[in-house]
Structure 1
Amino acid sequence: MTRIAAVHGVVAPHRHAQREITDMVARACLPAGADRRALDRLHRGARVNTRHTLLPLDRYGEFDDFGKVNDVFIAGAVELGAEAVAGALREAGLSPRDVDLLVFTSVTGIAAPSVDARLAGRLGMRPDVKRLPVFGLGCVAGAAGLARVHDYLLGRPHDVAVLLSVELCSLTLQRADASPANLIATALFGDGAAAVVACGARRQPAAGSAPTVVASRSRLYPDTERLLGWDVTASGFRVVLDPAVPELVRKNLAEDVDAFLADQGLGRQDVTAWVCHAGGPRILDAVAEALDLPGCALDVSRRSLAEVGNLSSASVLHVLRDTLASGSGRPPSGTPGLLLAMGPGFCTELVLLRW
């Protein structure tokens, strides 16, 4: 089975209280003199206390076209990505030259050569390292990326693979856009990255007790393409966010989770930790209600949301890191855990872990 040797999360350099970001969004997105009470209510209701941004807040009024913003994305993604991968390899007791596959995912910018190509030489990876850049999976990509790394390592059990997620959500800010979807996005999303080092069954991690990936399942819901995603415009990525998303989760998640666990001879009562993407308070509430979870089951996810916001694809990996680092609160060795995330499509990805 695939072993998770290390998970390392980083955040962007500038930390702000939610109120500071709310004030910046009011200046950038609302007409002069507009009533901002709805904006204030949305930002308070997000249950986010602090977030990190790549740039100081006063710089978000500088950009007037997508190309300039995307150049900032590339530079920022390379810096944060290098920090995340180097940290994860160090924790795993491995070197960059040990890496056989580097998977990179982001949905907040694009690059060719891809960010993984720009990182390989900088970090000192071998010239024959395999690379796979992934775009478009959005918030689900942390879970889906881990699942696809597992698929790869099943066929190459001697290999080491690294999954890197970098999301610079602040760069997608749409100025002069007071739509509900844009204002909700400005209430939730933050900037950060995470890297996972995974080893095939015959390439054991150097130290420590590592959880394993047992199985995964993907679920794509028909006729839901306009529930979540981006419209790509001249001004960049304009968010698509339908308020029906939590209800879709309530209607479908329990059946999908139960069927997946049953195929592994398990039920919900066997799961000792729920590693859930911190998508927002309404998403977390919908997950808890759909699965009839005890009140504390998603505490790590809710704490991550409060401290750094929704980091898109990096979010579930930060929650995984925090779950593994929780000391006495860490799940008992040998018990099952479920990592799950949702994203554009609309889709879910389920990954069964064993601690």
Structure 2
Amino acid sequence: MSRIAAVATALPPYRYAQSEITEMLAPMITSDPAKQAVMRRLHEGSKVATRHLVMPLEQYREALTFTQSNDRFIDAATGLAEQASQRALDRAGIRADEVDLVIFTSVTGVSAPSVDALLVPRLGLRENVKRVPMFGLGCVGGAAGIGRLHDYLLGHSDDVALLVSVELCSLTVQRDDDSMANLVASGLFGDGAAAVVAVGARRAASLQHTGPEIVDARSHLYPDSGHVLGFTPGSTGFRIILTGGVADVVDAHFSHDVIEFLGDNGLDLGGVAEYFAHPGGPRVLEAFARALDISDDALESSWRSMAAVGNLSSSSVLHVLADSLERAEHRSGDSGLLFALGPGLSAELVLLRWPEQYGAAA
């Protein structure tokens, strides 16, 4: 069974209170005082207290073309990816030249060669490292990335795999767009990166300190929901598609999907000790809690992450996992469920378990 060896995060240096960001963005997005008032209410109700941005706040006053904002994405994303990856490798006690597979995921910028290729010389990865860049998964990308690490390591039990996620959501905020989607998104999304080092079963036996096993992963793509969430590319960048339908899909499908997934692995909801939920927004987290019949407190780590850094798209659920691995005490045999929703509309479920020898190794 594959095993998570380490998780690490990286954030840009520019950190602002939500109110500062709101006051700067409001006149950029709309000149209508009534729309600005709506925007302020939405930002206040987002439960986001602070966010990290890839540029100083005043630089967002510049009207950037898609090319200009994407150039900034490539430069900053590569640096953040390097930071998160190196931290994760150091925590795992694994050298960069021992990595056999790199998966990179992002939906807020594009690059060819992809950012994972740019990381090869910067990290000291082998020139024959396998690379899988994934674009378009959005918020579900971090969870999907762990699932794809697991799929690979099941067939390569001696190998080391690295997942890297970088999202610079602030570069996608649209000027002069007072649509409800842009008003909401401008108060919810932040910038950040995360990396996960995972190892195959035989390689895990040689490591002194590791995290949970990856027991299983499952994907769902919901029909007739492509209009609910996504991005539309244009001359000024990626224009967000965001509706209230995300919570509706959770209400309609999520409980059944989770119960079936757990049942196939010999568990029920009562057998889950901890939940790692993508903090998609207050309505989404509340819908997750309803679907799983748990209190909001059971998703405390997700609420805490959303307040501290906002929704980081694919990186968010990895930040939640990293925070839990640092803060929480985990017992041998405990199971955890990691999950996220993204464009499609799609869901990714990952079942984790702390192995029987976990207490002794830690």
Shared fold (TM-score, shorter chain, > 0.5): yes
Residue 169 of structure 2 corresponds to which residue in structure 1? 169
How far apart, in 1, do the equivalents of 2:258 and 2:89 lie? Answer: 32
- Once the two structures are superposed, the pairs formed by residues 4-43 of structure 1 within 5 Å of their partners are 4-31=4-31, 36-43=36-43
- Structure-1 separation of matches of 2:323 and 2:139: 18
Identify the residue that residue 137 of structure 1 maps to in structure 2: 137
- 1: distance between equivalents of 2:329 and 2:287? 24
Q: How does 1:143-222 map to 2 (within 5 A)?
A: 143-204=143-204, 206-222=207-223
Aligned-pair distance for 1:33?
5.2
Partner secondary structure for residue 325 of structure 1: helix
Conservation of the 8 A alpha-carbon contact between 2:6 and 2:210: no
How many residues get paired? 353
Residue identity in the other structure for 1:273:
E
Secondary structure, in 3 states, of the residue corresponding to 2:21?
helix
Q: Does 1:247 align with 2:248?
A: yes
Deviation at 1:298, TM superposition (A): 0.1
The CA distance in 2 between the partners of 1:114 and 1:348, in whole Å, is 25
Residue 146 of structure 1 aligns to a residue whose secondary structure is helix
Deviation at 1:296, TM superposition (A): 1.5
Q: State the superposition RMSD in angstroms.
A: 1.1
Share of identical aligned residues, percent? 53
Q: Does 1:324 align with 2:331?
A: no
User: Are the counterparts in 2 of residues 182 and 239 from structure 1 also a CA contact under 8 Å?
Assistant: yes
Structure 2's unaligned 5+ residue stretches are 355-362
Aligned-partner Cα distance in 2 for 1:274–1:209: 19
Measured against aligned partners, the alpha-carbon deviations of 1:271-325 in whole angstroms (never above 9, x if no partner) come to: 0000000111110000001110133210000000000000000000000011111
Q: Give the 4+ runs in structure 1 shifted more than 3 A.
A: 32-35
CA distance in 1: counterparts of 2:283 and 2:34, whole angstroms: 27
- Opposite residue 42 of structure 1, the aligned amino acid is L
CA apart distance, 1:32: 6.2
Aligned to 2:58: 58
Provide the residue aligned with 1:88 in structure 2.
Answer: 88
C-alpha displacement at 1:64, in angstroms? 3.0
Unaligned runs of 5+ in 1: none
State the alpha-carbon separation in 2 of the partners of residues 234 and 304 from structure 1.
32
Residues 207-235 of structure 1 deviation map (CA, whole Å, 9 limit, x = unaligned): 32421000011011011111000011111
> Is the contact made by 2:2 and 2:198 (CA closer than 8 Å) also made in structure 1?
yes
Distance 1:8 1:157 in 2: 22
Cα offset for 1:61?
A: 2.1
Find the aligned partners of 1:32 and 1:353 in 2 and give their Cα distance.
48
Which amino acid in 1 is paired with 2:78? V
* 1:330, distance to aligned residue in structure 2 (A): 2.6
How far apart, in 2, do the equivalents of 1:341 and 1:74 lie? 25
Aligned to 1:298: 299
Q: Are residues 96 and 209 of structure 1, via their aligned partners in 2, closer, same or farther at CA, if it must alter by over 3 Å?
A: closer
State whether residues 212 and 353 of structure 2, in contact with CA within 8 Å, keep that contact through their aligned partners in structure 1. yes
